[in-house]
Amino acid sequence: MPDAMPNSSHAVPPRVEPQTFEPRIVAFFCNWCTYLAADLAGTSRMKYSPNVRVVRVMCSGRVDPQFVLDAFAHGADGVLIGGCHPGDCHYQEGNYKALRRYRLLKRMLRQMGIEEDRIRLEWISASEAERFRWVMNDMVEHVRVLGPLRLQPDEEVFAEEEVAV
């Protein structure tokens, strides 16, 4: 299990027994930082969890909360947003916007029964390949502990639902 990195607000998850569940994580990475860090981690041949599907965006401020909701609605077990460190956003304030939305979205998701650890915002600069690797692994481990996110039964299951009152 990865060690805790100083720069993170997330606690280290309890140890998980190896199991068959492979979390599906959707990641929105800013083109100017986290996406480049991913690139660097790749070219440096760093090993990290393969569970993450990356969507490149021009800025973390471009991540509409609807993207996150859509990802969860379509089967993501976790969503990761990666942006430039405060003060470093290419478009000045996009990452602050992302932070504000994230704080509110997290609260709303909690009301919707979606655990806090399933959504995460991290600042990772282009040179922080090691931190990138750690965040990816750490996120996957946290979500693995939570297990699959099983939202409402899908349409067919619902149609067959025998009514129990």
Partner 1 sequence: MAEKPKVAFYWCASCGGCDETVVDLAEAVLDVVAAVDIVFWPVAMDFKRKDVEAMPDDAILATFVNGAIRTTEQEEMAHLLRRKSKLLLAFGSCSHLGGIPGLANLFDRESILQAVYCESPSTVNEEGVLPSVRHNDNGHSVELPGFYETVRTLGQVVDVDFYIPGCPPTARILRTALQTLLGGELPPKGTVLAPDYALCEECPRKDSKPVNLSISQFKRPQEVLIDEEKCLLTQGLLCMGPATRGGCEAPCVQGNMPCTGCCGPTSRVRDQGGKILSSLASLLESKEEGEIDQALATIPDPAGSFYRYGLPSSLLRRRKLPDSNLEPPKVR
Binding site for ligand FES (CB under 6 A): 30, 32-33, 59-61, 83-84, 89-91, 94-95
| Among 53, 73, 116, 127, interactor with partner 1 by CB under 8 A | 73
Query: Can you read off the two tokens belonging to residue 11?
Result: 């606690």
Find the shortest distance in angstroms from Cβ 89 to ligand FES: 3
Helix intervals (H) in the chain = 34-43, 65-73, 94-111, 129-146, 155-160
Q: Which of partner 1, ligand FES, none is residue 21 near (CB under 5 to 8 Å by kind)? A: none
**Residue that is written with structure tokens 């979390």 in the block:** 23
* Cα 118 to Cα 80: distance, rounded to the nearest angstrom: 8
Under a CB-based contact definition with an 8 Å cutoff, are residues 84 and 123 in contact? yes
Find the shortest distance in angstroms from Cβ 141 to ligand FES: 25
Residues of this chain, 114-143, that bind partner 1 according to CB under 8 A = 114
Find the shortest distance in angstroms from Cβ 95 to ligand FES: 4
